[in-house]
Amino acid sequence: MMQDERIDMNKPDETAEGIETGGQGDRARMIECENLVKIYKTKDIEVVALQGLDLIVEKGELMAIIGNSGSGKSTLLNMLGGLDRPSAGKLFVDGHDLLKFNEQQLIKYKRETVGFVWQNNARNLIPYLTAQENVEMPMILTGKKNRRNRALQLLDLVGLLNRRNSKLSQLSGGEQQRVAIAIALANDPKLLLADEPTGSVDSRTASAILDVFRELNKALGVTVVIVTHDRQISRKVDRVVAIRDGRTSSEFIRKRSYAEELAALGDKVFSDQSDTHDELVVLDRAGRLQIPAEYMQALGLKGRNKVKVELEGDRVVVYAPKE
Give 293-321 as a DSSP string: HHHHHHTT-TT-S--EEEEETTEEEEEPP
**% pLDDT > 90, the chain:** 39
Q: Which amino acid is at 250?
A: S
Q: pTM above 0.85? A: no
State the pLDDT at residue 27: 62
Can you list the pairs that 197-204 forms with residues at least 24 positions away whose Cβ atoms lie under 8 Å?
A: 197/117, 197/119, 197/226, 197/228, 198/228, 198/230, 198/233, 199/119, 199/228, 199/230, 200/119, 200/120, 200/121, 200/173, 201/173, 201/174, 201/177
Give the torsion sign (CA, 79, 85, 88, 91). Answer: positive
Q: What is the pLDDT of residues 99-135, one digit of tens each?
A: 999 999 999 999 889 999 988 777 778 999 999 999 9
Alpha-carbon distance of 153 to 159, in angstroms, equals: 10
Position 158 pLDDT exceeds 90: yes
What digits encode the pLDDT tens for the residues 12-25?
443 333 344 444 44
The yes-or-no verdict on residue 57 having pLDDT over 50 is: yes
Residue 245 identity (one-letter amino acid): D
Q: Which residues contact 38 (CB under 8 A, 6 or more apart)?
A: 48, 49, 50, 72, 75, 79, 84, 86, 87, 246
* pLDDT given at position 319: 76
Residue-range domains of the chain with CATH: 29-290 (3.40.50.300), 299-323 (no CATH)
Closest CA to 222 of 101, 57, 15, 83: 57
Would you place residue 280 in the very low, low, confident or very high pLDDT band (cuts 50, 70, 90)?
A: low
In Å, what is the CA distance from 17 to each residue of 12, 100, 109?
12, 20, 11
Strands 223-228 and 191-195, by their bridges, are parallel
